[in-house]
A and B are shown apart, each in its own frame.
Chain A
Amino acid sequence: MTTSTALTTIGSTRTDVMSVNASEEQYVTFTVGSEEYGVNILSVREIRGWTPESRLPNLPDYVRGVINLRGIIIPIFDLRARFGGGATQVTKRHVVVVIQVGERTRGILVDAISDILAIGHDSIKPPPDVDSGMVDAEYLSGLYTAENRMVTLLNVEKLFSTEAGEAADAAAARVPLALDKAH
C-alpha cells in the first residue's frame, strides 16, 4: 500500500489506476459554497436540476420542502442551511442529489456536483476531535484529501435520520417505557 504522502501527490491519477481495488469505494462529491462533500455513490439514485419545491410547515429551514419525483413525493434538504449557512438562494444551476436511504428517497440541495472519486478505506481519515456542540460528528464518516481539497464524507443515513425528525419520533416512542420505569 502506498503511503498517504504518495496519495496526496498523485491525487486523481490514483483514481484511475486503482479503481479496481476492492477496498475502494466510489464517492460522488459536490460543493456547498467553498466546501466539498462526498457521499457513497451506491446511495445516489440520480442527480437532477433544481425544480421549485412546495414548502412544508413548521420545520427547520434546512427542510426545504417537497418535490414530485415522477409521482412520488420526496423531501429536499438544504445542506447549506443544515450546516448553518442560511437558506440557499436557488438558481436553475443548483442541483439536487437524490439519495436512497433504506426504504426512503430524499433529495439534498447542493451548489454543484464536482467529481466522482474512488477512495480507498485506508485513505479516509477520521474527523478531528471537534466540539460536539459545534459539529454534530455523527453524520461525518471521515475526511479525504483529493489533490489540495478536503472532502468531507457524509454518512447519509445519520444525516437524514436527524433531519427527518426520526430521532424525535423514536424518542417519543420510548417515553412510555421510561415512565413505566419511573413509576
Chain B
Amino acid sequence: MEDLSRFKQTYFDESAELLAVAESGLLRLTPGEVDSDEVNAIFRAVHSIKGGGGAFGFTELVAFAHEFETVMDGVRNTSIPVTTELVDTLIRANDVLGQMLAYAREEAAAPPGTTDDTVAALRRHLAGGPAEAAAPEPAPTAQPAAYPDDEDDEAGIFGDAMVAISAAREAEEGTAGAAAPVPEGKLRWTITFRPKPDLLLSGNEPTFMLRALRRLGDATIDCDLRSLPPLQALEAELLYLSWTVTLIADPDVDQEKINDVFEFVADECDIRIAVEAPVPAVAAPPAVQTSTDPVPVSAAPPPVPAAAAKPPEAAKGEPAKPRANGGGGGGGEHAGLTSHTIRVDLDKIDRLVNMVGEMVITQAMIAEHVRDLPPGEFQELLEGLEQLAQHTRELRESVMSIRAQPVSSVFSRMPRLVRECAAATGKEVQLVTSGETTEVDKTVVENLVDPLTHMIRNSIDHGLEGPEERERIGKPRAGTVHLSAQHRSGRIVIEITDDGRGINRPKVLSKAIEKGLVQPGASLSDEEIDNLIFLPGFSTADQVSNLSGRGVGMDVVRRNISSLGGRIGVYSAPGEGSRFVLSLPLTLAVLDGMVISVGEERFVLPLTNIVESLRPKAADLHGLVGKCDVMMARGEYVRLVYLHQLFGIPKAVTDPTRALVVLVETEDGARLGLVVDEVLGQQQVVIKSLEANFRRLDGVAAATILGDGRVALILDVAGLREMSRHHDSGYSRPPDPGQAALPAALPSPALEPV
C-alpha cells in the first residue's frame, strides 16, 4: 500500500507539471495555425494524466480527460479547426482537469456536475465539424507520430507506459476497431523494466524477475536491445538490456504483487507499470453503436468515434463564459494541485553544493583578513561579515538538505534480507525498524546498503540462537533484530541490536590468539575483545556458512564506514545480545570545525567533538602508572594525548601548562584531552578527500583548504584515541609523563627549540 501511495504522489507531481505544460501550450495555440509539436505536447500531457489516472482508478478524472483528449486528437489531425472559441474551451478544460486532480488527491469525489459544462462545450467542438471531424484521417497512421519515441519527454513515467501500451495495441490489433483488446475479466499490465547497467554486480538476476512475472499471468516479454553496444565495447559484467512485459493477468494480481517482484532491485532499475482494464478507460460503449461515423470504424482511433458520436448537445451561446471562468478561476484551481516537489538533475545540485563550498572558503578568507584590522574602527564591516557568516551557514544547510534522503530507502530492503537469512539459518527472526524517516545525505544513504546488509546477516547468523535453544533458555522463540536511525549531535546514528547470545568473549579471544591477531597471554578489556571482530581475517563461526563466516565481513564493514567518515562500535552483554552502533556524518561535504595549530601545522577539529578547551594548571596534571598523562578536568580524570607526539610534529609546545588542552569527546562518549599549541578559531570547512589522490591516514578524517589556500587535515578524534592507545602500549613510552610538569626533561632536544 505504501508503495502505491508513493506512486500516487509521483503521479500528482507529474500531473501538475503536465498541466502546466498543457496550459502554456494552449496559450500559444493561435487560431488558424497549428503547430503540430505544440499540439502533440498538449495531447501527450492530457493523455498521460488520463493514463496514470486510469492506473489509480480515478474514473471521473479519466472520463473527463478522455473527452479533453478526444478533442485534442481532433485538433492534432486537423479535423477540428483551431478557433479562439476552441482555445478558450480547451483552457477551461485544462483548469477543470486540474480541479479533478485536486479532488483525486484529496481522495474526495468531485461534486456532481463539475465537468458537465466543459464536457458539453468540448463535445460541441467535436460535433462542430462532424463531416471532417470523424472523417478522413486514418488515425492509426497519425498515432505513431503522436507518441514520439522519446522516453524522457514530459509525459514522464505514465506517458511512457502509455506509449508502450499504445505500441502494444497497435501491434496486436493493427487497425482493429474500438473493441477492447484485454480479455474479459482480466487486466493488462504493461511493465517496462529498465535495469541500471550495474544490476548484475549486486548479484541480481533479471531472468528470475521475468520468470516471476510470467507466473502472475500470461506474459509477453519483449527485450529491448537498443542500448547494446558493439561487441568490442561490451562489458561482460554490465547489463545493457531492458524489457517490456505485457501481462494479461487475473484481477487479483495487483500492483503490489508486481512491485514485489522488483522489490529487491527497486533502486537499481527503472520500472514503469501501467494497467488497463478490459473496457479502455471510459469510451462509453453505447457510443460505439450509435456511431454516425461515415468512415469504417476500424479506421479511426478508438476514442474518436466514441466521443464524436455523442449527439451535439445544446448549450449554445456559452463560449464566452468559459473563458471568463477559465481566466478567473484558473490560478486558484491549479493552486489546489500545486506541486510540492520538483525534480532536479543531481548535477545541478552538486554544482550548487560546490559553489557553496567555494563560498565558504572565500568567506573564511575574508574573515581571516578582517581579523587583522584595528578593532573598533570597522564595526559595521565586522557586523556585516558576522551576518554573512550566518547566512552562509544557513545557505549551506539548506543546500545540504536538498540532497538529504530518508534512510527508509535502505531500511525497506532489510525485511526481505532478514526473511532470507532466517530461512537459510533455520532461525526465527523478527525485524523491528524505527527512525526510517531520518534524513541523511544521498551519498551516505547509498553507501549504507552494504554495511547494513553485512551486519544484519551477521547478527542473525552469529548473534541469534536457534529457536529451540532460545526456548530452552527462556527467551521467545523468535529473535529480534532492531534497526534504528536517529540524529545525534550533528550525525546520524544507526543501531543494530539483537537479543541473541552476545559476543562470546573467551571464544573470540582464543580465536584471535589462534589466528595470531593477539599475542597469547595479552590481557584485553571486554571492550577490546569485542572489537577484535573488526580485525581482518576474523571469523568465529565454527563452520563457514553461506551467509557469513568467511571472515571478511566485519572488517569490510568497518572500512566502508570509516571511508564515509563514520565509526562503528560494538557493545555486547553475554546472553543478552549485542548492539552495533554506526555513527556517520550527515553530509560528506562541509563541516563546522575549530582550527588549531601544532608547531607550524594547522589542523581542523570537528566542532561536534569538542567539549571545551582549557589551559591546565600544573597541579591538575598527573602521570598514570608511567603510561600516560591524565588531567583533572571538571572533576574527572581525562587522558592527555599529545598531538605533536602522535603526528611527529617538530617545534610544538610540549608543556601542557603552556599549551592548550582541547577536551574532545568521541561518539561513544569517551573523552580525551588533546594537547595543541593554539586554538585559532571556528570555521566552516569544505571536506576534501585525501583518499582521492592519496590514501587514508590514521587519525585523519579528511582534509580541507583554509582561507590562505593551504591544506589542513581534519582530525578524526576516535582515530586519535586508537592511535594514542597503540602509542602508549606499543612503545616503552618516551619520557614524557614527568615532562609535562617538568619541562626540563626534554625527550629529544633536537626537536625542542621552543
Chain B residues lying within 8 Å of A65, measured Cβ to Cβ, are: 711
* A116 part of interface (Cβ distance < 8 Å): no
Cα–Cα distance between A183 and B700 once the two chains are bound (Å)? 35
CB<8 Å pairs between A and B, sample of 17: A54-B601, A57-B646, A57-B648, A66-B703, A66-B711, A68-B710, A68-B711, A71-B358, A72-B692, A73-B688, A169-B695, A175-B537, A176-B536, A180-B537, A180-B550, A180-B551, A183-B515
How many Å from the CB of B562 to the closest CB on chain A?
13
Cα–Cα distance between A59 and B697 once the two chains are bound (Å)? 9
Within 8 A of A (CB), among B695-734: 695, 697-700, 703, 705, 709-713
Chain A residues lying within 8 Å of B208, measured Cβ to Cβ, are: none
Q: Indicate if the CB atoms of A74 and B693 lie closer than 8 Å.
A: yes
Q: Indicate if the CB atoms of B693 and A75 lie closer than 8 Å.
A: yes
Cα–Cα distance between A54 and B714 once the two chains are bound (Å)? 12
Q: Indicate if the CB atoms of B693 and A106 lie closer than 8 Å.
A: yes
Chain B residues lying within 8 Å of A54, measured Cβ to Cβ, are: 601-602, 703, 710-713
* B552 part of interface (Cβ distance < 8 Å): yes
Q: Indicate if the CB atoms of A176 and B711 lie closer than 8 Å.
A: no
How many Å from the CB of B691 to the closest CB on chain A?
10
Cα–Cα distance between A52 and B600 once the two chains are bound (Å)? 11
Of all A-B residue pairs in the complex, the 3 with the closest CB atoms, nearest first, are A57-B647, A179-B537, A54-B711
Q: Indicate if the CB atoms of A66 and B692 lie closer than 8 Å.
A: no
* A1 part of interface (Cβ distance < 8 Å): no
* B649 part of interface (Cβ distance < 8 Å): yes
> With contacts A66-B711, A72-B692, A183-B515 known, what are 19 further pairs, Cβ within 8 A?
A54-B602, A54-B711, A56-B713, A57-B646, A57-B713, A58-B647, A59-B697, A67-B711, A72-B688, A73-B694, A73-B705, A74-B693, A104-B692, A106-B693, A164-B694, A166-B695, A169-B695, A172-B536, A176-B552
Mask: chain B, 643-665; 1 = CB below 8 Å from A; 0 = not = 00011110000000000000000
* A105 part of interface (Cβ distance < 8 Å): yes
Chain B residues lying within 8 Å of A173, measured Cβ to Cβ, are: 536
Mask: chain A, 60-97; 1 = CB below 8 Å from B; 0 = not = 00000111100111110000000000000000000000
Chain B residues lying within 8 Å of A183, measured Cβ to Cβ, are: 515
- Identify which of B550, B699, B703 contacts A176 (C-beta below 8 A): B550
* A126 part of interface (Cβ distance < 8 Å): no
Q: Indicate if the CB atoms of B537 and A72 lie closer than 8 Å.
A: no
Chain A residues lying within 8 Å of B180, measured Cβ to Cβ, are: none
* B269 part of interface (Cβ distance < 8 Å): no
* A11 part of interface (Cβ distance < 8 Å): no
Mask: chain A, 150-167; 1 = CB below 8 Å from B; 0 = not = 000000000000001110
Within 8 A of A (CB), among B658-700: 688-690, 692-695, 697-700
Residue of A nearest to B602 (CB): A54
Cα–Cα distance between A66 and B712 once the two chains are bound (Å)? 9
Cα–Cα distance between A72 and B646 once the two chains are bound (Å)? 26
Chain A residues lying within 8 Å of B552, measured Cβ to Cβ, are: 176
Residue of A nearest to B555 (CB): A176
Cα–Cα distance between A173 and B537 once the two chains are bound (Å)? 9
Q: Indicate if the CB atoms of A176 and B601 lie closer than 8 Å.
A: no
**Given A57-B648, A66-B690, A179-B551, residue A73 in contact with residue B697 (CB < 8 A):** no
* A149 part of interface (Cβ distance < 8 Å): no
Chain A residues lying within 8 Å of B693, measured Cβ to Cβ, are: 72-75, 104-106
Q: Is the interface of B mostly helix, strand, loop or mixed?
A: loop
Max chain B Cβ within 10 angstroms of own Cβ: one of A71, A72, A106: A71
Cα–Cα distance between A143 and B358 once the two chains are bound (Å)? 45
Q: Indicate if the CB atoms of B649 and A55 lie closer than 8 Å.
A: yes
- Identify which of A58, A66, A71 contacts B694 (C-beta below 8 A): A66
Partner-B contacts on A (CB < 8 A): 52-59, 65-68, 71-75, 103-106, 164-166, 169, 172-173, 175-176, 178-180, 183
Cα–Cα distance between A173 and B550 once the two chains are bound (Å)? 13
Q: Indicate if the CB atoms of A58 and B648 lie closer than 8 Å.
A: yes
Q: Indicate if the CB atoms of B647 and A73 lie closer than 8 Å.
A: no
**Given A58-B697, A71-B705, residue A176 in contact with residue B551 (CB < 8 A):** yes
Q: Is the interface of A mostly helix, strand, loop or mixed?
A: mixed
Chain A residues lying within 8 Å of B550, measured Cβ to Cβ, are: 176, 180
Within 8 A of A (CB), among B615-667: 646-649
Chain A residues lying within 8 Å of B646, measured Cβ to Cβ, are: 57-58
- Identify which of A73, A175, A176, A179 contacts B689 (C-beta below 8 A): A73
Cα–Cα distance between A67 and B694 once the two chains are bound (Å)? 12
Chain A residues lying within 8 Å of B602, measured Cβ to Cβ, are: 54
How many Å from the CB of A69 to the closest CB on chain B?
9
Residue of A nearest to B514 (CB): A183
Cα–Cα distance between A105 and B689 once the two chains are bound (Å)? 12
Chain B residues lying within 8 Å of A166, measured Cβ to Cβ, are: 695
Cα–Cα distance between A105 and B690 once the two chains are bound (Å)? 11
Q: Indicate if the CB atoms of B700 and A73 lie closer than 8 Å.
A: no
Chain B residues lying within 8 Å of A172, measured Cβ to Cβ, are: 536
Residue of B nearest to A174 (CB): B536
**Given A73-B705, A104-B693, A179-B515, residue A57 in contact with residue B649 (CB < 8 A):** yes
Cα–Cα distance between A75 and B601 once the two chains are bound (Å)? 16
How many Å from the CB of B359 to the closest CB on chain A?
13
Chain B residues lying within 8 Å of A74, measured Cβ to Cβ, are: 693-694
Cα–Cα distance between A178 and B536 once the two chains are bound (Å)? 11
Cα–Cα distance between A72 and B648 once the two chains are bound (Å)? 25
Chain A residues lying within 8 Å of B536, measured Cβ to Cβ, are: 172-173, 175-176
How many Å from the CB of B630 to the closest CB on chain A?
23
How many Å from the CB of A89 to the closest CB on chain B?
15
Cα–Cα distance between A71 and B686 once the two chains are bound (Å)? 10
Chain A residues lying within 8 Å of B700, measured Cβ to Cβ, are: 56-57
Chain B residues lying within 8 Å of A67, measured Cβ to Cβ, are: 711
Max chain B Cβ within 10 angstroms of own Cβ: one of A105, A173, A179: A179
Cα–Cα distance between A53 and B713 once the two chains are bound (Å)? 12
Mask: chain B, 528-547; 1 = CB below 8 Å from A; 0 = not = 00000000110000000000
Cα–Cα distance between A173 and B555 once the two chains are bound (Å)? 10
Cα–Cα distance between A176 and B555 once the two chains are bound (Å)? 10
How many Å from the CB of A55 to the closest CB on chain B?
6
How many Å from the CB of B558 to the closest CB on chain A?
12
How many Å from the CB of B2 to the closest CB on chain A?
40
Cα–Cα distance between A89 and B555 once the two chains are bound (Å)? 41
Chain B residues lying within 8 Å of A57, measured Cβ to Cβ, are: 646-649, 697-700, 713
Chain B residues lying within 8 Å of A58, measured Cβ to Cβ, are: 646-648, 697-698
How many Å from the CB of A40 to the closest CB on chain B?
19
Max chain A Cβ within 10 angstroms of own Cβ: one of B536, B646, B712: B536
Chain B residues lying within 8 Å of A175, measured Cβ to Cβ, are: 536-537
Chain A residues lying within 8 Å of B537, measured Cβ to Cβ, are: 175-176, 178-180
Chain A residues lying within 8 Å of B694, measured Cβ to Cβ, are: 56, 66, 73-75, 104, 106, 164
Residue of B nearest to A65 (CB): B711
Residue of B nearest to A176 (CB): B537
Q: Indicate if the CB atoms of B692 and A68 lie closer than 8 Å.
A: no
How many Å from the CB of A171 to the closest CB on chain B?
10
Cα–Cα distance between A54 and B700 once the two chains are bound (Å)? 13
Cα–Cα distance between A183 and B537 once the two chains are bound (Å)? 11
Residue of B nearest to A67 (CB): B711
**Given A58-B647, A68-B710, residue A73 in contact with residue B695 (CB < 8 A):** no
Max chain A Cβ within 10 angstroms of own Cβ: one of B536, B550, B693, B703: B693
Residue of B nearest to A75 (CB): B694
Cα–Cα distance between A172 and B648 once the two chains are bound (Å)? 24
Residue of A nearest to B361 (CB): A71
Chain B residues lying within 8 Å of A71, measured Cβ to Cβ, are: 358, 688, 705
Residue of B nearest to A100 (CB): B693
Mask: chain B, 553-572; 1 = CB below 8 Å from A; 0 = not = 00100000000000000000
Within 8 A of A (CB), among B153-212: none
How many Å from the CB of A166 to the closest CB on chain B?
7
Chain B residues lying within 8 Å of A55, measured Cβ to Cβ, are: 601, 649
Q: Indicate if the CB atoms of A52 and B710 lie closer than 8 Å.
A: yes
Chain A residues lying within 8 Å of B710, measured Cβ to Cβ, are: 52, 54, 68
Chain B residues lying within 8 Å of A53, measured Cβ to Cβ, are: 711
Cα–Cα distance between A58 and B647 once the two chains are bound (Å)? 6
Cα–Cα distance between A57 and B698 once the two chains are bound (Å)? 9
